[in-house]
Structure 1
Amino acid sequence: MSGVIAVLGFGEAGSLLTRDLLAAGASVRGFDPAVPAPAGVTEAGSDAEAAAGADLVLSVNSAKEAVAALAGSLDAMRQGTVWADLNTAAPAVKQRLAEIGRSRGIPVTDIAMMAPVPGKGLRVPMLASGEAAGEVAARLRGYGANVEVLDGPAGLAATRKLLRSVFYKGMAASIVEALEAARAAGYEDWLREHIAEELEKANAKTVDRIVTGTRQHAVRRGAEMAAAAEMLADFGVEPIMADASRALHERLAAEEE
């Protein structure tokens, strides 16, 4: 495929995406203030310089740099350039990016990577929303990417990703905390096996059972998690997730009063 792709940011995700783009025959320009460009990339001296020579820009720097990267590149980009933000940022940030781009005729696409990039590279499942989402998806699919287009504005892809993050990252954090406490108590192997069994047998009915049971037994479970948090503290483990669970159960119980 013709045209130049600019990649801003050569961290873990950016470097792996760039590797696969190059392998698929893409012409890539790029910039990262801290990481040298991978071999085969035309290295630029700034975000703006990289974007100036591209018709598609992939911003993979960081959520805190996302707005500054776009704002600082606006004067350098030609009309017709499409900006795609792949950073894990709040929907409001993605919407702000779209507003900035719209004011200068630069369409902004919100892309959410829905799994770890290592091991998958450009084939990591991605969601795209916002202006030019279909165009960006088609372009990246030509290089082997796995992109699903959502019918909605920038911020929709980020919303779906972060909703999943509340579940998945919250579950992961609870598992890590529970195993840390089990290790302190001398029962790590037992708990690890128990967790694996529960995950293996989970299905759609599990979700309904969890939601219904949590609300129905909020008072008792709130007290139970208070006791669990106290136990973890006795083990020398900070009960971050256990105490958060206590607080949630207490809120649900209060809503039923």
Structure 2
Amino acid sequence: MTVIAVLGLGEAGRIYARDLREAGYEVRGFDPYVRLMDDQVGSVGEAVGGADLILSLVGARAAESVARQALPCCREQAVYADLNTASPGLKRTLAELAAAEGVAFADVAVLAPVPRHGARTPLLAAGTGAARFAGLVATANVPVEVIPGGAGAAAARKLLRSVFMKGLAALMLECESAADAAGEREWLRGQIVGELSGDPGQLIDRLIDGSREHAARRVHEVEDAAAYLAELGRPAWVMEASRNWLASLLDEPGRP
């Protein structure tokens, strides 16, 4: 039976521990702050000793310190998979620590909220242990895309995705805040749904190409929009960023 150690039993860690156990793995969980599993062990070393796969879900701030505790206790055939959202640089540091202990390392990026799909949440994996990681969790039907580029490559893609997803979330927050203040929430939601319901590729091209072509006019439009939000007493942080981006396009080489 494959033995998996789960370090960190927050929301995602608990879900992975549950789903992997239900899929037939022996799971050892460790968390120094909470007791959530009947068979939860009392130390990092006890969790990872003899384990085939170690999943780190302790958060980026604790990832390195936990890895330094865990890696010397891992057997050489183990795969240490870091699933924390962290910088590519930190992932490369963790890979170096693993290599020094003769342990394969997988930089794993989680591409959707884990509570939505549990252990079947889509993952990207890179690094020396990426392919082995994918093989070890295949029994649980965990969708893993192994990508080239070494440790840090999966983290880089995750953060690029975060630029879109978290930026989009900020835009939605600003839209809803303004629309509520203006009494136009349902109307604006309808406008947003209509724009997003068409061809997404065409929408992306139109937004980018149109911004470059009409940057000067759009700077003024965004300034007017920000001024209106000020009248409503609502934040215009995204509008301010939009104005800066559009204004920067006016300085691109080759513009008349």
TM-score tier (shorter): over 0.9
Alpha-carbon distance in 1 for matches of 2:214, 2:95? 44
Answer yes or no: is 1:21 the counterpart of 2:24.
no
Alignment of 1:1-257 (within 5 A): 2-39=1-38, 42-256=39-253
Identity %: 45
Alpha-carbon distance in 2 for matches of 1:37, 1:59? 17
* Secondary structure at 2:144 match in 1: strand
Greater Cα shift, 226-235 or 11-20: 226-235
Q: Deviations over 1:75-126 (max 9, x none)?
A: 2222222100011111111111111111221221011111111131011111
| 2:100 maps to amino acid | S
Q: What is the deviation of 1:49?
A: 3.1
Alpha-carbon distance in 2 for matches of 1:38, 1:107? 27
| 1:181 maps to amino acid | A
Greater Cα shift, 181-190 or 202-211: 202-211
The runs of 5 or more residues in structure 1 that have no matched partner are none
Contact 1:110 1:155 (C-alpha < 8 Å) held by counterparts = yes
Greater Cα shift, 120-129 or 213-222: 213-222
Alpha-carbon distance in 2 for matches of 1:234, 1:48? 59
* Secondary structure at 1:201 match in 2: coil
| 1:21 maps to amino acid | L
For this pair of structures, how many residues does the alignment match?
Answer: 254
Alpha-carbon distance in 2 for matches of 1:8, 1:121? 17
Q: What is the deviation of 1:47?
A: 2.9
Contact 1:31 1:37 (C-alpha < 8 Å) held by counterparts = no
Contact 2:17 2:29 (C-alpha < 8 Å) held by counterparts = no
Contact 1:19 1:38 (C-alpha < 8 Å) held by counterparts = no
* Secondary structure at 2:106 match in 1: strand
The runs of 5 or more residues in structure 2 that have no matched partner are none
Q: Deviations over 1:43-95 (max 9, x none)?
A: 12233332224221000110111111101222222222210001111111111
Q: What is the deviation of 1:148?
A: 1.2
Alpha-carbon distance in 1 for matches of 2:82, 2:23? 21
* Secondary structure at 1:38 match in 2: coil
Alpha-carbon distance in 1 for matches of 2:45, 2:213? 55
Contact 1:8 1:32 (C-alpha < 8 Å) held by counterparts = yes
Shift of the 46–229 alpha-carbon distance from structure 1 to 2, 3 Å rule, reads farther
| 1:67 maps to amino acid | E
Alpha-carbon distance in 2 for matches of 1:23, 1:176? 38
Alpha-carbon distance in 2 for matches of 1:79, 1:122? 25
Q: What is the deviation of 1:27?
A: 0.6
Q: Deviations over 1:168-218 (max 9, x none)?
A: 221121012111111011111100111111111132222221111111222
- The alignment yields a C-alpha RMSD, in angstroms, of 1.6
